[in-house]
Amino acid sequence: MVEPELDALSRYSHLAVAVDIVVFTLIEGQLHVLLVTRGIEPFVGKLALPGGFVLAGEGLDAAAIRELQEETGLVPGIAHVEQLRAYGAPGRDPRGHVLSVAYLALAPELPHPTAGSDAREARWVPVADALGLALAFDHGQILRDGLERARAKLEYTSLATAFCADEFTVSDLRAVYEAVWGYPLDPRNFHRKLTGTPGLLVDTGRTRRNGQGRPASLFRAGTIAVLNPPLTRDEGFARP
């Protein structure tokens, strides 16, 4: 195709660009996703992923982080944020052609679970429930893609630590895996694998009492971000 003149760029600006964010966190051992109730058309009253339009001159990552902060009050640096992919089917927004760049964010359990800075109500919904709801736009698909990305990256990265506080126990980590993958793991083999990967966990030397049972050693994330060989999950066992 022929490219535009220098000043004719706006001839090709027929798409609005938005970001939508799949924010996961763990609440009482259960995986939750942040959803907002839409206050305006289209899809008034329906649940949707938090998001909004990219502002002029704003980068995509910046827009995602800004929206995340507006919806949750999350300070950048606490959560892990990465781009998922772009969704641009022509009919996905009834108002017109809107391209959405979806992001995946993982956060530790937050002190204030809900804090909407604008009119929309935001709340944490168990992922198992959210998957059964009819979300606005193609947000159901985006949620499924985000969940699959999170599940896959737990296999071969240290991403699970993004769900944990600065210091955590091996059981904390295992709870993350069990919540995201949806089935229980053997505590002994999990412990062997995670502590046996050099550079993954750094032992603080201290322990933490969890109500009952023997106190667990406290770790913080090490420098290694890649698990090689990976921690394979049992395909076909994930709870929908």
Partner DNA sequence: GAGGATTGTCGTCAATAAGACGATAATCCT
Partner DNA sequence: AGGATTATCGTCTTATTGACGACAATCCTC
Residues tagged active-site? 121
Cis bond leading into 229, ω under 30°? yes
Cα gap 136→41, rounded to integer Å: 10
- Within the chain, residue ranges assigned H as helices are 60-72, 127-130, 139-156, 170-181, 187-196
Cα gap 185→174, rounded to integer Å: 7
Minimum gap (Å) between residue 195 Cβ and its own copies: 21
Residue 93 or 172: which CB sits closer to its own copies? 93
Kindly identify the residues of this chain, within the stretch 105-134, that bind its own copies according to CB under 8 A: 118
Residue 118 or 166: which CB sits closer to its own copies? 118
When asked if residue 211 is in the footprint of DNA (CB under 7 A), the reply is: yes
Cα gap 115→125, rounded to integer Å: 14
When asked if residue 220 is in the footprint of DNA (CB under 7 A), the reply is: no
DSSP 68-98: HHHHH-PPBTTBEEEEEEEE--TTSSTTS-E
Reference 163, options 27, 11, 61, 14; nearest CA is 27
Listed ranges 36-44, 96-104, 107-115, 163-171: which one lies at the site for DNA (CB under 7 A): 163-171
Residue 83 or 189: which CB sits closer to DNA? 189
When asked if residue 212 is in the footprint of its own copies (CB under 8 A), the reply is: no
Residue 117 or 210: which CB sits closer to DNA? 210
Among residues 212, 223, 236, 240, the one that binds DNA under rule CB under 7 A: 212
Reference 101, options 116, 87, 118, 115; nearest CA is 87
Among residues 99, 131, 216, 238, the one that binds DNA under rule CB under 7 A: 216
Among residues 112, 188, 205, 228, the one that binds its own copies under rule CB under 8 A: 228
When asked if residue 231 is in the footprint of DNA (CB under 7 A), the reply is: yes
Residue 215 contacts which entry, its own copies, DNA, none (Cβ below 5-8 A, type-dependent): DNA
When asked if residue 193 is in the footprint of DNA (CB under 7 A), the reply is: yes
Residue 99 or 125: which CB sits closer to its own copies? 99
H-helix or E-strand spanning residue 216: strand 216-221
Cα gap 8→28, rounded to integer Å: 54
Among residues 76, 90, 184, 187, the one that binds its own copies under rule CB under 8 A: 90
Q: How far is CA 103 from CA 20, 22, 50, 161, 209, in A?
A: 6, 6, 10, 18, 36
- Give the footprint of its own copies on this chain (CB under 8 A): 1-4, 6, 9-10, 12-18, 40-41, 52-60, 67, 70, 83, 85-86, 88-90, 95-99, 101, 118, 228-229, 232, 235
